[in-house]
Amino acid sequence: MTGFAYRDGEMHAEGVALSRIAREVGTPVYVYSSAMLRANYRAFADAMKGLDAEVHYAVKANSNLAVIRTFARLGAGADIVSEGEMRRALAAGVPADRIVFSGVGKKVSELRAALEVGIRQINVESRHELDMLDGVAGAMGKRTDIAIRINPDVDPNTHAKITTGKKGNKFGIDIDLAREAFAYAAGKPNLNVLGVAIHIGSQITDMEPYRHAIRRVREFVGQLRADGLDITRFDVGGGLGITYRNETPVPIDAFVGMVRQETGNMGCALSFEPGRRLVGDAGVLLGEVILVKPGVARTFVIVDAAMNDLIRPTLYEAWHDIVPARQPAANAEEIVTDIVGPICESGDFLAQKRTMTPLAAGDLVVVKSAGAYGAVMSSTYNTRPLVPETLVDGDRYAVVRPRQTYEQLIGADRVPAWLE
């Protein structure tokens, strides 16, 4: 399904015209569809029926409280990578015992905070972290459940900057060294070694790398059990891709079916950690054309949404479909243009050499599939206030993060006494 479609010539989010949100909230602005969030989650829930499995939503994809709460009310837990994300998940209503703490560089203070609230599991990524966590838990008089994240050295065939399961990536413990790490962890008095975790990358559109990684883990778990370890949990990770341009995403039921088949005799409870697949196509970035600037080499459409609002095109060379909020005529002419922002960087673009119908100052543009790694990666570069976020539910909407004011932005700075 899609929560965004033209109605009577105007793009809507469910039952709300995007022009109404632009008029009442201003631009740029993120718009999320509750119906799509729910549909995406239910696709996972339906596919998992009969499995001993849970969904832990990867908060890093979109950490807005309203988004997390939408999933929490459907039964999702949370996969977090920082104390801040843990606090967001708790504030959104995710029970502590349904939170999994991943991440390659946890601080002592973060581990302590996680143990204080009693989260479900900590996914440890290094021998040093095993020592840290054992020390923190011992000082608190606690014994904590852990999984160890291994690096299975599998190429997920995705962008180099979002590959996480190959040798040379910073994540996890190399599978060739992991057996020793598990034995070391088993000797720690304050750690309960229950599981194995993997995460091989993001925007994955091919099941075979996942299948290969799971088979490597299955064999590895057999070795651990031969060593006397009682491994009862397998954190499969996330990373399933969506359609940005011409990708063909793996159907959720097919993916879960493959996992069901490959793990059927492992005797492990499973954890899935989808992020992008739950929120990516459930959000758009809405911007307004400031001016159109013809040039000798190309025409620039300058909009008020910029790289500080959506950095994916600049950072990952990512493609996002961009359409006008008002539906063009079927036979409308088209031109090739760059859609850029007002940031003082040549890398500030949303699209390059894009074929579109001509735009004019005041027109609204819709940047599609911007629900993941959009607002959550935004910044205040060029002293531009953080973009607001809105959530639509049927024919109603709410502002779920107000636009930052200049007073709030500048007021966060402190001038030292010697400059007063």
- In sequence order, the β-bridge partners of residue 323 are 366
Of the CA atoms within 13 Å of residue 18, those in its CB half-sphere come to 36
CATH architecture of 34-278: Alpha-Beta Barrel (3.20)
Rounded Cα distance, 355 and 361, in Å: 18
Rounded Cα distance, 151 and 166, in Å: 7
User: Residue 138 burial (CB < 10 Å; 0-12/13-18/19+)?
Assistant: middle
pLDDT of residue 166: 40
pLDDT of residue 165: 41
Instruction: Mark whether 268 is an active-site residue.
Output: no
**Spans of all domains in the chain:** 4-32+280-411, 34-278
Q: What letter represents residue 350's amino acid?
A: L
pLDDT of residue 201: 81
Radius of gyration of the chain (CA): 23
Domain 4-32+280-411 identical in fold to domain 34-278: no
Q: What is the DSSP letter of 387?
A: P
pLDDT of residue 158: 47
Rounded Cα distance, 272 and 78, in Å: 10
Mention every residue, 6+ apart, whose C-beta is less than 8 A from residue 58.
79, 238, 273, 274, 275, 276
CATH placement of domain 4-32+280-411: 2.40.37.10
- Start-to-end C-alpha separation, the chain: 58
Q: What letter represents residue 105's amino acid?
A: G
User: pLDDT of 7-56, one tens digit each?
Assistant: 999 999 999 999 999 999 999 999 999 999 999 999 999 999 999 999 99
Element (H, E) at 396: strand 396-401
Q: How wide is the angle at C-alpha 375 spanned by C-alphas 369 and 380, nearest 5°?
A: 140
Q: And the tokens for 385?
A: 């206030």
Catalytic residue among 160, 297, 344, 360: 344
**Blockwise average pLDDT, block size 10, the chain, 420 residues:** 90 98 98 98 96 97 98 98 98 98 95 98 95 98 96 61 47 86 96 94 85 92 95 94 92 94 94 96 98 89 97 94 95 93 95 94 98 97 97 98 98 96
Mention every residue, 6+ apart, whose C-beta is less than 8 A from residue 412.
none
Q: CA dist 88 to 31, 96, 384, Å?
A: 20, 11, 24
